[in-house]
Chain A
Amino acid sequence: MVARVGWSPGPAAWKDDLSALTAAEWSYDRAAHLLAHAGFGGTPAEIQKLADAGLERAVRSLVYYESIPNPAMQPFVESGLWDPTLNGFPESRPEATDRAEKSGTSMGVETKPSGNRPGQPISDRFFYWLRATMLETRRLGYWWANRMLQTTHPVEQKMALLWHGHFATHENKVRDYRKMMQQIDLFERGATGNLRDLTIQVAQNPAMLYFLDAQYNVKGAPNENFAREVMELFTMGVGNYSEQDVRECARAFTGWYFDNLAFKLDPDKHDAGEKTFLGRTGNFDGVDLLKIIFQQPVTAEYLAGKIYRFLVRDEVSAELRTKLGAVLRDHDYEVKPLLTVIFSSKDFYSQASYGGHIKGPVEHMVAMMKHLGVEAIPGVPDFNQSTISMGQHLLNPPSVAGWAGGKAWITPGLLIARGNVAREVLIPDVTGFKDWNFTAGTDDILGRRLRDGFDIGAATAVNDPSSMNEFDRVALERDERFNTRISGYVGWQQAARKLIPTPRQAAQFDLTQMVLESGAKTTAEAVDYLIWRTLRVPPAQAARVAFVAFLTKELGTDNIDRAKTYMEDALRMTVHLVMSTPEYQIV
């Protein structure tokens, strides 16, 4: 078996040093470190390719990826849930039904002219879209995760993921998977481009406009939500502008809105008057304002620091932040030159950066596939349920501030969830699996009662109608404008009827073959190989010894050749243990 040299962090003195590594300092281990941080980790073959290319060519191929063919990238196939009557979807069920009470129609459906529950079609329609966009967004997140795994441009996907958390909006509020899809496209295209341009496009992006209440920001009555967040979270960071700047900024963005998937400007609602912003005075509009923001040195430092913390390590010294900000500013906010400096630098390969990054759950899930040599994210376990249990719901960040990242990814509960997800990938419960896209959750009980022939009053009763006498049961039926509980259930049904099913295949991989091809002869060599393939930081010696003993006991021998016909599940359990170590959570 080939001796594998792993874990070769540069000296501590390299910290904060942005000068480039020399060719002699390049190695397989450093290529593995690069791919783990710049992308989602890699298979040994992918890492070897970068190692063979040498530092400069390796970094260049990762950062300037446009000319590399990317055949696996296919467009998202929509289930066809949307139609134009859903444009301008009401913000709430009361808004939907009130609208219909006045006009007789809402979201393309009409109220009934007579009979009980005349508003039921409206209420049903509202819940249909609520469920439909939520279900389609799950498919969209899964599709995106597969892009992260299958791309030949890992830096593009990693940076798109960064921008999704940075310019955070969530489907829970936006309620339109199409706008979220538009955003993924924006973040991919702008992943490593110019940050000023990206920010301007984000400010004109329908999901963002809706998310931060742009439609309520009008001349004479500014709404400050977007104005504050654009400075606090997207560009400068708190403390670098005044409350007066927030108010003036809100004025500049007045009249910005969207129609369906297009940005619009309403000149009547735009305040074209003079504004004083960050010490400058003029008849600024929103784009002028963003340009002023990008003239502030603090903006470059804030954004460079954010990129660095996302890719490299949690802790950034003030000195390093200033240096990184200068690189970004010197290149007029072009991201590629900054990434090239970071990925080539001694700092990036220093002791402080080795094991300095806690993987986010989506990154973790994609990396797990790379480590196992899996070519598609499995359908069992469900991708979204898995990452949600680990603390990250793609396309639904918890707030406008995105995910906190770093240490916030790890709590006792979330750490345990990581081990459990690894088990579900390695040894999935395929026969016990239930597809959550095709249940109505607690509303399923209503469906059962309706199918058992109960009317709406009885079906929505708190107590089980089948245990009531006929007299009590009939008394449950009542006159009402509409029944939202039934709508909740009907919404699930109508949406799921059209929804394209997610293929539910388990992850396809073969640890037996991998271990045999590695040349491992003993269980100790097999464990060392699996550790080398999956971990960036070596485990505790006692843990390694225990894993070897475990595998030996499970196989009934320490001889791999003797066990080769039956060792798959024991190897999978061993990898489950390896992936449950504290070391597997960091790179």
Chain B
Amino acid sequence: MSRRDIIRLGAGGLGFGLFGGIGPVPPVLRQASRAAAAAQPGRILVVFEWFGGNDGLNTIVPYGDPMYYKHRPTIGIKEKDLLAIDAHVGWHKSMSGMKHLFDDGKVAIIQGVGYDRPSFSHFSSISFWHTAAPNSGNEYGWIGRTASAMDPAGARPNMIVNISDSQTLAVKAEKHVPLVFVDPTKFQRGVFAQEKAVLDMLSAPHAPVGDAHKYVLEVTRSAAQASEVVRAAWDGYKGKDNPDLRLLDLDKVAALIEADFPTTLYYVPLRNSLFDTHVNQAAPHDRQLQYCSDAIAGFFQEMKRIGRADDVVMYVHSEFGRRVPENTSLGTDHGTAQVNFVIGNAVKGGLYGKPPSLTNLVLGDNLENTTDFRQVYATLIQQWMGADAATVLGQNFTTMDMFRA
């Protein structure tokens, strides 16, 4: 079993003819020539979704604006606790990992990202972000539609990976079946030797009796193809043995990238709504930002080790920011515009977007959105993935000059 075979297996090129269902797990041969990696994707986009409504004002803190401390007399972050960027804004103290990446010129900070007539509901707002259709909807997600734009025939298998308990709407695609899992070690059919020969038959051709059946049939096929290669990638991944490397779910992404998985689009929603900080927000928010920031820094260290740091861009967003004034429970309620991050060697680091005013608040104490989130999507789709953003998003959006030539 050569590395090339494994790659082609990941690409769906070999089926079960070779293994007869589940065979011995092939080792992932790391040192083999990269030139052989016919299916290795060029550029990769990893979306890291900070679900829960991250408080952008306590993430990239506008400490230079006295209004900030007026609105947040108790939970406002003091200047001495910040990692300053310039005279106006600074990183939350827990975010030294991302600050180092920023100092190296690898982080674009986009302030004031949102959309008109914003929803204050977690679930509605995230569905607008997932479908790129604010106050409307779309059957498919923006990542799914990006896959369709890049590969209209749906011929590239495992193009989308979603590290999640259940499929995220953002990855729902017309022709591509996203590979969804959380724990690679459990992503394996437990079978006795005698049963192996019959396993192929679980995905035998069958006329679906309806929509639910059709869906389960498709997933059965996808599961059969994917589980073996995912486990092989995970077994071969070195990062998991380092206890200091806490990558949240980004370790699974790193493992697949290291194994030259053919995936172009990764979607990783943070599990548990730990950014939902209505009450006593300081301690949980500090902790959460630190975990996420350290994970991102660790992930890019891994990309460097693997030799793919130039090829990977990460995008971080939430479903909304939080209300500008603190509430009386030492927390913040659901708000509007938020801060986004685009990270990678290819990124021109710096501050993007117009910082929203803390004086002219809208919609009852909220930030005005100064950048439509679909402008960020368009920038990623068009400039990084090289697909036609207008096709994916249904209209033209002004993009930002965010990537190095």
Chain A residues with a Cβ under 8 A of chain B: 9, 91-92, 94-95, 213, 216, 218, 220-221, 223-225, 228, 232-233, 238-239, 243, 246-247, 313-315, 351-352, 354-358, 389, 391, 398-399, 401, 404, 406-417, 419-420, 423-424, 427, 537, 539-543, 546-547, 550, 553-554, 573, 576-577, 580-583, 585-586
Contacts and interface: CB of A to CB of B under 8 A. Distances in A.
B195 A411 contact: no
Interface string B268-288: 000111000011100100000
Contacts of B328: 216, 218, 220-221, 223
Nearest to B162: A411
Nearest to A409: B166
Nearest to A7: B209
B209 A238 contact: no
Contact of A550 (B166, B194, B210): B194
18 contacts: A221-B328, A223-B328, A238-B123, A351-B209, A357-B212, A391-B166, A413-B223, A420-B189, A537-B213, A543-B201, A543-B204, A546-B198, A554-B194, A580-B202, A581-B202, A582-B203, A582-B206, A583-B213
B216 A585 contact: yes
A411 B206 contact: no
A537 B167 contact: no
A413 B327 contact: no
B283 A582 contact: no
A173 B164 CA distance: 21
Contacts of A411: 162, 164-167, 180-181, 219
B138 interface: no
A232 B124 CA distance: 9
Nearest to B207: A540
B210 A355 contact: yes
Contacts of B363: 243
Given A398-B272, A550-B198, A580-B202, A358 B216 contact: yes
A554 to B, nearest CB: 6
Contacts of B334: 224, 228
Contact of A412 (B198, B202, B210, B219): B219
A573 B209 contact: no
Contact of B121 (A9, A238, A419): A238
Contacts of A576: 195
Nearest to A544: B201
B280 A91 contact: yes
Nearest to A352: B210
Given A225-B278, A398-B272, A412-B219, A243 B120 contact: yes
A407 B123 contact: no
Contact of B216 (A225, A424, A540, A582): A582
B119 interface: yes
Contact of B187 (A314, A398, A412): A412
Residue of B162, B219, B272 most packed against chain A (CB within 10 A) = B219
Nearest to B205: A540
Nearest to A314: B212
A585 B213 CA distance: 9
B15 to A, nearest CB: 16
Contacts of B271: 398
Contact of B329 (A213, A407, A541, A577): A213
Contact of B209 (A413, A537, A547): A537
B190 interface: yes
B365 to A, nearest CB: 11
Interface in B142-190: 162, 164-167, 179-183, 186-190
Contact of B204 (A220, A410, A540): A540
A586 B214 CA distance: 11
Contacts of A225: 278, 333
A551 to B, nearest CB: 10
A92 B280 CA distance: 10
B338 interface: no
A238 B319 CA distance: 16
A412 B161 CA distance: 11
B166 A414 contact: yes
Given A420-B189, A586-B216, A238 B202 contact: no
Contact of A228 (B120, B162, B191): B120
Given A412-B223, A554-B194, A232 B121 contact: yes
Contacts of A424: 190
A273 B123 CA distance: 31
A314 B198 contact: no
A225 B278 CA distance: 8
